[in-house]
Amino acid sequence: MKVASQIVLLFKDKDGFAAAISEGLNSNPSSGFRRLEESLELPLDGYGVKGQKACGDFVHFVDNQGNYEVSLLLLEKYEPPILACALNEVLANITKGASASLPAFIVPFTGASKLKWEPKALPPNKGQVKLYSILIGPGTNSSKITSRTEMAPASFHIQYEPLACFIHLARVLKLPTSVVFGHQASEDELQALYQIGDLLANITGLCFLKEKVSWNPMEMSKDSKEPWRALYG
């Protein structure tokens, strides 16, 4: 599986965040990158899961020499236990072709319902969006991320099953990973997306075009519970 050294991993969801980020990220006019799209389908028979595949869509940004500079991967949403099988199969296919070094994963998300903060750890945002990061594995201490985000407090918990499962696998596999998310009031969801998009553009060398983003976030209830969350900590 051919991918770039930087992979922006997004989970398709009913809130449309993944599609909005994919629409907004475009090649910088000065770079000459072209956009290449392809589908991903990987059978899960090896896990005893018959008739199901790990599916998603790649968007690659390719330079004039045919080198893959940045890859966006939008994965379909799966429920446990299929979720862990699908994620593991995708990561196995991405990393098995890596020779000198593993690709670096950048995983953005937003949404107050996907996080649980201890009251003392929740800083007053005073109407402003704050970006936080979680760094996993070797080679993730990028100044482009650390200079524009704060480290996530240890007392917060992820309540979004696909991301929690991915973080668990990233730690086990020691994948270079930067998880980036915003803390904001619910009415500032769009502003959080814009700031995350700008950060991704700065990290990857792409540009983020706000005028191409069409997004109407649908918040899940903060009281909603996702099963199997305890498996991933």
Which domain CATH number covers 49? 3.40.50
Please report whether residue 97 resides in a domain.
yes
Provide the number of structural domains found in the chain: 1
User: What whole-number distance in Å separates Cα of residue 102 and Cα of residue 178?
Assistant: 13
* Coil, strand or helix at 130: strand
Q: What DSSP element (H or E) covers 177?
A: strand 177-183
Please report whether residue 220 resides in a domain.
yes
Please report whether residue 100 resides in a domain.
yes
Please report whether residue 80 resides in a domain.
yes
- Prediction pTM value: 0.88
User: What whole-number distance in Å separates Cα of residue 122 and Cα of residue 28?
Assistant: 36
| Residue 102 domain boundaries | 6-232
Please report whether residue 157 resides in a domain.
yes
Give per-residue pLDDT as tens, 56-99: 999 999 999 999 999 999 999 999 999 999 999 999 999 986 66
Please report whether residue 1 resides in a domain.
no
- Return the pLDDT at 220: 42
**Both tokens assigned to 12:** 């398709």
Please report whether residue 60 resides in a domain.
yes
Please report whether residue 61 resides in a domain.
yes
Q: What are phi and psi of 96, to 5 degrees?
A: -70, -20
Give per-residue pLDDT as tens, 6-43: 999 999 988 899 999 999 999 998 888 999 999 999 99
Strand pairing class (150-151; 25-26): unpaired
**Contact call for residues 126 and 88 (beta carbons, < 8 A):** no
